[in-house]
Amino acid sequence: MSTPLPLDDVRVVELGQLLAGPFCGQLLGDFGAEVIKVEDPARGDPMRQWGRERPYGKSLWWPVVARNKLSVTADLRTEDGQALVRRLIAQADVLLENFRPGTLERWGLGPEQLWELNPGLIVTRVSGYGQSGPYAGRAGYGSIGEAMGGIRYVTGDPDRPPARAGISLGDSLAATFACLGTLVALHQRGRTGQGQLVDSAIYEAVLAMMESLVPEYQVAGYQRERTGTTLPNVAPSNVYPTADGEMVLVAANQDTVFRRLAEAMGRPELADDERYATHGARGTSMEELDGLIAAWSSTVKADDLLERLNEHGVPAGRIYTAKDMLTDPHFKAREAIVRLLHPELGEFAMHNVVPKLSGTPGRVRHVGPALGEHNDLIYRDLLGLGDGELDSLRAAGVI
């Protein structure tokens, strides 16, 4: 018998598309929430077509972001589609959406109207700039939120324009904070019985990760700049070459750890050298110190280097690719990668649920569904629609 999932008493109606909202739905579904994803009957979520590689014309992203979800179709631009969704929301705990602010209101699905139907409803809204303020109505993509939130400016090499991470960082952060807010709101509803609005803005989610960037400027007049592979005054913490052409990341910027690194290098005297003896001194001498470490690491093969550093208690590791992740024994031991059966692509590997709970862990139960796969299950079994009603809605293109 499978362990009960901790959110299996929570029903979520997901109206969003692409990533900023749906990733929140993925996180809730990972821990057992019944996530009913409502999609346009003609096109579905664009994520069904997105992704760099599309074997057999199939997205490899969709099975991940839509995992554990149920798919129904409804044209929200029609009164009949809106009426269907109202009936779903009346029986839901959470409404999740990431349309431009004002869209739900135009469809007659604004929070105030929905609370008349369901006072305990949590309305989770993810957008570029939030639901208020002078920019609220602007189109807001994740990349714009990353720029406004500050992370783009400090990412990359100092002699080049700001770089981006190779993932949709802003969208994912906003969705993660939306998930946090949803769980907090559900906890509070347990005390009061009342729902509330969860307003997660992409730029604010990015801003929340920016450490002390704001007071550094406001108090000390210091503007963080792009520094490439290092952080100013944090040394040694960099990528170093090896004898067999690999790259190893070494982080030994704490005094005690640097002493252990010096011993691993066979240069224990470096830890007492006034240029390297303290955190501040190493920061000042960063370039010179990185050169010393690189000269040493480049004479040792990666496996031998990592073994020596691990023996001395120095944090170090390879820079992993997907190939490394699929073969690494630690990933395997912790089941960080889970393999499911995709109905068309066969065995399908993806990252597992995090964080791990000891008593009621989350679980990936199935890959993302086909468009409208659960129309009968939800509309007939949950809402009680008859065959005649369903046939009429299909004929009209509403579902």
Active site residues: 171
Quote the Cα angle for 101-14-145, to 5°: 45
- How do 122-127 and 197-201 pair as beta strands? parallel
| Whole-Å CA distances, 71 to 7, 74, 273, 376, 388 | 19, 10, 64, 10, 21
DSSP classification of residue 153: T
- How do 247-251 and 237-241 pair as beta strands? antiparallel
Instruction: For CA atoms 135, 137, 138, 143, give the dihedral sign.
Output: positive
For residues 201, 204, 206 and 211, what is the CA-based torsion angle, rounded to 10 degrees? -160
Burial class (CB in 10 A: 0-12, 13-18, 19+), 156: middle
> Would you say 148 and 139 are in contact if contact means Cβ atoms under 8 Å apart?
no
CA separation for the pair 91, 36 (Å, rounded): 11
CA separation for the pair 174, 97 (Å, rounded): 12
